[in-house]
Structure 1
């Protein structure tokens, strides 16, 4: 009798499956070695060497940052942070977990081989991980720049097989790890697209497809000719007035008498002046960032001329809160922050040095000089009691920390002043730094934070400095800070659908 024959098809065992994958990997490597692409025998090895130690991506990030747009700077920073995480993971875990030897170079033409062969293990590819991490990180912040960098990243990854230093599976694993590192960084520090919208639902504002009715006053001291020229090209019927800083207020007042929409191009101080004029004349405001920091425009979602042009052409606008301070005959508004204590002294130091060394270096130098100087805390009556204060900060809207990134506002019309206080003490630098790292709405013996609609200080000494939106004035006696809810209409780009 013939015994039964088992005809069941069983899947290959794990060892057999692994052997088949390794064999397929070797065949792909040999096929790549046998392949000849015109012009690549010299180009790809050079490209591979240029990516050693992340040098290629550091240079690319420097070029991105040099474009001076906020999105490009964020893309460069996110790309480098993603690359750093990927490299750390590869060097501490990846290379030590799978000790795979490098491919045998016999099938690879000598002209392609690198002069210095890597001595680390083959799996996974560090170059592919760095390339994918940088490109993915950039793309998460800016799709345009990501699309431009992706072919370069792919070429670097391909060069590692073409030069014979990696198997194809090493490249795939490295690229997957690099992309994962970029998404891990996004989990720690969300991209701007993930953050809540900064404005309330839209309000009625004139739609200006050709710019007719817009009078834009541009501060030439901010160095913004390129942005103004692009605005002029896109909105040919707009009137653009370029003037020096001392003439800003006068030109804004004259522009308000003939404008349907008042526009301003400059830094936060210039925008503050324009907002005051727009409020007095009942005009909507169009803000084109042109300064060093541009806090209001950034929180509003206007990063450059294209954002503003789209909002003006479509008539997209929101209503935002305005802060107001008063002290006797001295009064004014603030769109970002208002502060007393050591910060106004920092602003004065920054303004003193910025014409010589630039805005950012002047800010760092000013902070160092203020923290090292021998200061006495401000004394003011707050809530019926006299307190020594190193700093009183009031934000027009609540400031939030975004992962590890600096604070920003999600809502410019929340009806609240974000008040932070650093109490007086013997070591102001330590207390100020502790308050900065502690984040919003914290309480401790050194610092505190509350949200309120109105704040009154009494007993402020004559000559006390008050800083608002980068400007400085003197106050004394009683100082009142309050909110003007949804007082100003500002053009705001809404997401494209």
Structure 2
């Protein structure tokens, strides 16, 4: 009986011993371990994802990279006390504890990084997460092999930290749903345009469109996809509104549609022309961020091609800004803003591709608040001193400071958010609330949903921004409102309601 007890071993230890006993197995684990110790692996994976996929894949890459950067910083900070306890320092290697090594005293950094990247990617793109998971599992196994089975707690602690960090990023940077914003189909069906016949398409090559070296240009790809479309490529000397107005007029005369390939500012101008001539609009994502196309669920040129070929379309609301002096009405597909918000958007978008959305938001906010001051305006006749005012064309989510997506494109409401400049320590409280993800509960932020909103300048002319484009000659007063179901837009059928209510 005693002999049997001596020979029996816990199943995990026995499996570990068998898996690592052979020299070839040990060599393989060592090679995997060397890869695990280098964070360059994950930077490379993030870069590869960012360059090879669409909007969802890029979001997954950014969240994965941001998550593992934070997890790495945390585990390095936690390891310092352990190193000090072992007497490690410049020129002095760590003194091994009776249990074996410093690995027993602190979480495993490589395991934390692997877990953070994997969970971060999986939050945005579950299928990509499933592809990355086997690599992360192999790296965790290599850490156990190198540190010894008795130190598996350090590896498990690292995995826990990495997974926790990745999950917490959704508090500041919400995960966008896979399904696009809802909308209803138009009462009058949009025309079918096989091969682009009847489509008058304007391409703005200055909107941030990028092509890989040696690949076809955007114009060449669109000509190949839509050989029968009437395509106009803008030059720097062209007046975009005038070109769009002429194209929309021709589309109306021929019973076709207006198309626009560019960023949100270009799509905004196209929406105004399409609404004016009552023709459908085909949105081709050709800018840097393409927020409106993303809410429509359009990620590629092929999505638009499928929609216009089948005549699939929805109707969406347009935000409207009517100047008090009677000048031309401006529209916005996404957002209207004033104060520091336009500056913040540009600062954030300039940093987002390198460090992720939430870090870019925090750093951009700190920069903008340092060099700016609140503005004095009247909101619905009430004097206010504000850092910013944001009005979304429809209700945006989440409820805090970084509105990201809409659930509907035709709810008839303005999503109004304002940050008070009169509150005590408003600047500091604003920054801390954004950093901690608690702005939606902060007293410096006011949120409401309205159908109309009146804005008047008091002692200065604030600059307004429509879909991120800042006006250079703002009007002294504006009335914001909505035009319900104002615009018909192509997008692939997704089970929308058959007609607007």
| TM-score, reference length from structure 1 | 0.70
Q: Is 2:258 the partner of 1:262?
A: yes
1:77 shift after superposition: 2.7
Alignment of 1:211-250 (within 5 A): 211-224=196-209, 226=211, 227-247=218-238, 248-250=240-242
Moved more, 172-181 or 208-217: 172-181
Higher relative contact order, structure no. (Cα contacts within 8 Å, ≥ 6 residues apart): 2
Q: Is 2:275 the partner of 1:279?
A: yes
The whole-number CA distance in structure 2 between the counterparts of 1:349 and 1:369 is 12
Q: Which residue of 2 aligns with 1:26?
A: 17
1:474 shift after superposition: 3.1
Distance change (3 Å), C-alpha of 1:309 and 1:182? farther
Q: Which residue of 2 aligns with 1:191?
A: 175
Moved more, 267-276 or 145-154: 145-154
Alignment of 1:39-118 (within 5 A): 45-52=30-37, 54-66=39-51, 69-80=54-65, 83=68
Maintained 8 Å contact 1:398/1:418: yes
Question: Secondary structure of 1:411's partner?
Answer: coil
Q: RMSD between aligned alpha carbons?
A: 4.9
Distance change (3 Å), C-alpha of 1:190 and 1:339? closer
Q: Which residue of 2 aligns with 1:323?
A: 319
1:363 shift after superposition: 10
Maintained 8 Å contact 1:435/1:447: no
Give the count of matched residue pairs: 444
Q: Is 2:330 the partner of 1:332?
A: yes
Question: Secondary structure of 1:322's partner?
Answer: strand
1:306 shift after superposition: 4.2
Alignment of 1:39-438 (within 5 A): 45-52=30-37, 54-66=39-51, 69-80=54-65, 83=68, 119-121=102-104, 127=110, 130-131=113-114, 133-142=116-125, 145-146=128-129, 149=132, 152-153=135-136, 156=139, 181=164, 184-185=167-168, 188=171, 191-193=175-177, 197-203=180-186, 204-224=189-209, 226=211, 227-247=218-238, 248-259=240-251, 260-327=256-323, 328=325, 329-343=327-341, 346=343, 371-373=369-371, 375=373, 377-380=375-378, 382-401=379-398, 406-425=403-422, 429-430=427-428, 433=431
Moved more, 257-266 or 77-86: 77-86
Distance change (3 Å), C-alpha of 1:168 and 1:299? farther
Question: Secondary structure of 1:59's partner?
Answer: helix
String of CA shifts for 1:237-291, please: whole Å, max 9, x gaps. 4343221355222322232233322221222211110000110121221222333
Question: Secondary structure of 2:181's partner?
Answer: coil
Distance change (3 Å), C-alpha of 1:296 and 1:482? same
Distance change (3 Å), C-alpha of 1:64 and 1:168? farther
Distance change (3 Å), C-alpha of 1:141 and 1:391? closer
String of CA shifts for 1:301-332, please: whole Å, max 9, x gaps. 32343443444444433221111112222421
Q: Which residue of 1 aligns with 2:450?
A: 452
Gapped regions of structure 1 (runs ≥ 5)? 1-11, 97-116, 355-359
Maintained 8 Å contact 1:125/1:170: no
Q: Which residue of 1 aligns with 2:85?
A: none
The whole-number CA distance in structure 2 between the counterparts of 1:156 and 1:211 is 50
| TM-score, reference length from structure 2 | 0.70
Question: Secondary structure of 1:274's partner?
Answer: helix
The whole-number CA distance in structure 1 between the counterparts of 2:400 and 2:426 is 26
The whole-number CA distance in structure 1 between the counterparts of 2:64 and 2:486 is 39
Q: Which residue of 2 aligns with 1:465?
A: 463
